[in-house]
Structure 1
């Protein structure tokens, strides 16, 4: 799945993407802190919605709070599973909550995402930074929903969102090669399909057309980076998205380290 995203620029990159975009006055987002955003921190993040024909940039929290999460205890118990939505369930699974909110479509602006790769014999996974070639910023499609209960502290009815994933392409299969949701990737799209996702009159057939798109591996750029889910500073003092050389890291497609192979050769 996808639980780590990055936005390493400023709001102008988003407003240039959609010149008619209306920025919500309550959007108070620190873009300097967005180089790594984790899903289960449930932070507010800028997402684009179509509200009555107007494109708006809204501060929504990552991790949908569904209608059945009507107590703080239920939210705490279940929200962690609502940060990603499988594309296969949005139209075809009639029992899915995602199908129920399929008209509430949004775009999640990013400059890239992170995914972790397993290496046989290694204690920790190796993170990779992935982005679309020739696009400084792109958008991942999502769904949004307003919380059924107000925030306990502020009384706010929160806007929340989920990020859509699909079966991985050949490169992403080699990067996201382990874990309970192995061989998944975000629903990467060309810009014309990103904008189509926001069309309010999109039919189920149109939605499915977007969901069926698979980004060719050749359109992705990617490289290993230093550990991202730790407060430990990088030895080279570079940003989290900068390439990092891991000793004995095998090339993609080989999941056993060269160091381990040498021990048994």
Structure 2
């Protein structure tokens, strides 16, 4: 699953990618470009929603569903809701189906995933980005959640990031663990604007969720682990050479 993302760009870059936003950016956002945020820290992130017109504001990554009704449950299980499988959006009875009309876009400049190499003790981290645009958009869903913060008891706007089955390149990278073979639900700019349409039918949602970014639409390279404390700068995504690392096969047919 995708728990590590980057937005190393000014928010004005998001405006250029989604013209419908026009001037819909909260001037008090205070978001600073970042080369890495981990989902399990439940960071604030710029998110685009369409409430009487597309706007960009900061939401907290990680919904808190009603089933997590104690602080202890939140602590143990909240990370399970950082991502949502796109297949669940139209599955009746799921939390994601219940909020399928609360759609949002998560802007990013890249994300990180770990590759398992047979015989190697440690997985190899990769940085992955769009090969066609500096800022791209990941489909998401949003919800107001109980904060469980005694100092801030009010409900807070939160979001989850949608994932889908991986393309052939991402299957080679995200190849281990319980959720192997997944990637973020990356959208083209045109599809991203469709995802925000307030009158989107279930049929149209299903059609959008069928989209899979082709392997040629990705650039990726190995980096140092992002799970270790380091400066939040370009060194986070600097390419690293791993001796004996098998090359990715870029022309595998689906």
Partner SS for 1:23: coil
1:130-151 per-position Cα deviation (integer Å, ceiling 9, x unaligned): 1111201111000000013563
Contact 1:119 1:125 in 2 (8 A): yes
Partner SS for 1:142: strand
- For residue 196 of structure 1, what is the aligned residue in structure 2? 194
- Note the 1:51-70 alignment, pairs <5 A: 51-52=51-52, 54-70=53-69
- Note the 1:18-97 alignment, pairs <5 A: 18-19=18-19, 20-31=22-33, 34-52=34-52, 54-91=53-90, 93-97=91-95
CA distance in 1, matches of 2:73, 2:87: 25
Question: Do residues 14 (structure 1) and 22 (structure 2) align?
Answer: no
CA distance in 2, matches of 1:221, 1:149: 37
Contact 2:18 2:189 in 1 (8 A): no
After superposition, the Cα gap between the structure-2 partners of 1:164 and 1:26, relative to the gap in structure 1 and judged at 3 Å, is: same
Partner SS for 2:96: helix
CA distance in 2, matches of 1:218, 1:242: 21
- For residue 247 of structure 1, what is the aligned residue in structure 2? 243
After superposition, the Cα gap between the structure-2 partners of 1:238 and 1:195, relative to the gap in structure 1 and judged at 3 Å, is: closer
Contact 2:35 2:234 in 1 (8 A): no
Partner SS for 2:113: strand
1:128-180 per-position Cα deviation (integer Å, ceiling 9, x unaligned): 11111120111100000001356321234211100000011111100101011
Partner SS for 1:222: strand
Q: CA RMSD in A?
A: 1.7
Partner SS for 1:155: coil
Shift of 1:30: 2.4
CA distance in 1, matches of 2:181, 2:18: 32
CA distance in 1, matches of 2:155, 2:209: 29
Shift of 1:21: 4.2
CA distance in 2, matches of 1:45, 1:101: 19
CA distance in 2, matches of 1:70, 1:15: 38
After superposition, the Cα gap between the structure-2 partners of 1:169 and 1:200, relative to the gap in structure 1 and judged at 3 Å, is: same
TM-score by structure 1 length?
A: 0.88
Partner SS for 1:22: coil
Q: Which runs of 4+ in 1 moved over 6 A?
A: none
Ranges in structure 2 where 5+ consecutive residues have no aligned partner: 250-254
CA distance in 2, matches of 1:15, 1:97: 31
Partner SS for 1:88: helix
Which stretch of the first structure deviates more once superposed, 9-18 or 164-173? 9-18
Contact 1:69 1:148 in 2 (8 A): no
After superposition, the Cα gap between the structure-2 partners of 1:157 and 1:150, relative to the gap in structure 1 and judged at 3 Å, is: farther
CA distance in 1, matches of 2:106, 2:61: 10
Shift of 1:71: 3.0
How many residues are aligned here? Answer: 246
Ranges in structure 1 where 5+ consecutive residues have no aligned partner: 254-265
- Note the 1:1-265 alignment, pairs <5 A: 1-19=1-19, 20-31=22-33, 34-52=34-52, 54-91=53-90, 93-148=91-146, 151-231=149-229, 239-252=235-248
Contact 2:10 2:32 in 1 (8 A): no
Larger Rg: 1
